[in-house]
Chain A
């Protein structure tokens, strides 16, 4: 539609493609691991267990974030470790 040298439909209006891509990524993940939602609590429990073999941490101290993408996903696990004072207190005990 550029016979007049400019486009009547600006490119930004084409959001359907974005919608399709978002769905493809999401559904690929959902179909692949329908039970993924239920794996996360187990994964968290195991991670906590391993760490607790070595130090005392709180169940609250683990924060898990995820970002799904088309070629890869990332899982970010943040564990708040006890501060030096708390640690030395534990050691002394």
Chain B
């Protein structure tokens, strides 16, 4: 859980740094990225229209109203995964590559066609994991696919896809009580480098309510953690900070107790 939140945050974070970035929704039929990015009312054409030749790519790209460098390619709400083809995806990505510094692909859940296409052409992958057994297991399967079912894996002489782990919804309280695995536990199992640790935070819900990527919303621990992750993604050395969760303010707690 947290892939779409992360795609929105990372792409906005990259654009904020002046990198021209596009974020693509690969979750055909269940599109949500447009809502998280706050451009849902401006969707005219989508990724599928472009793949099927019904619209030009530049007609389907929606420019973010806050950041000049940020663009969204929404997906279709009415079609299904079969509307995506590997050749179609490749063509769109090749065209985008000419213009953009970063192409962020928001993968659907699971390991089916949609997820496989989202990862197939990747150079790097951010594996979003929660510190829970089922999530870590799923991430391990995704890592397996990254190492076998991608263009980089299939073509000889290519470096493998560079995978990073991003741990999100991390709850320091529950970790301290031994209810949740620690960062070290998860990394030991997945054995890939850590891109960041995002705390469980009410700011994420707030940002999704208003349709603003978390790094563009009011300052929050989760937003700051995403900004750090973006810095690491572009190659800066930033120490991992594991922030305690954001708790309701003192007065709010007081009132909850006395109410």
- Given the contacts A8-B251, A22-B40, A66-B42, A41 and B210 also touching, CB distance less than 8 Å: no
- Chain B residue contacts of A65, Cβ below 8 A: 42, 44
Answer yes or no: A44 CB below 8 A from chain B CBs.
yes
Answer yes or no: A91 CB below 8 A from chain B CBs.
no
Alpha-carbon distance A42/B46, docked complex (angstroms): 14
Q: How many residues of B contact A (CB 8 A)?
A: 25
Answer yes or no: A50 CB below 8 A from chain B CBs.
no
- Chain A residue contacts of B42, Cβ below 8 A: 65-68
- Residues on B facing A (Cβ under 8 Å): 35, 40-46, 49, 54-56, 58-59, 76-78, 206, 208-211, 251-252, 255
Chain A to chain B contacts (Cβ below 8 Å), 21 pairs: A16-B209, A18-B209, A19-B210, A26-B35, A29-B41, A30-B77, A37-B76, A37-B77, A38-B78, A40-B45, A40-B54, A40-B55, A41-B49, A41-B54, A59-B56, A64-B45, A66-B42, A66-B43, A68-B40, A68-B42, A69-B41
Q: How many residues of A contact B (CB 8 A)?
A: 31
| Cβ–Cβ contact B252 & A9, under 8 A | yes
- Residues on A facing B (Cβ under 8 Å): 1, 8-9, 13, 15-16, 18-19, 22, 25-26, 29-30, 34-35, 37-38, 40-41, 44, 59-60, 62-69, 73
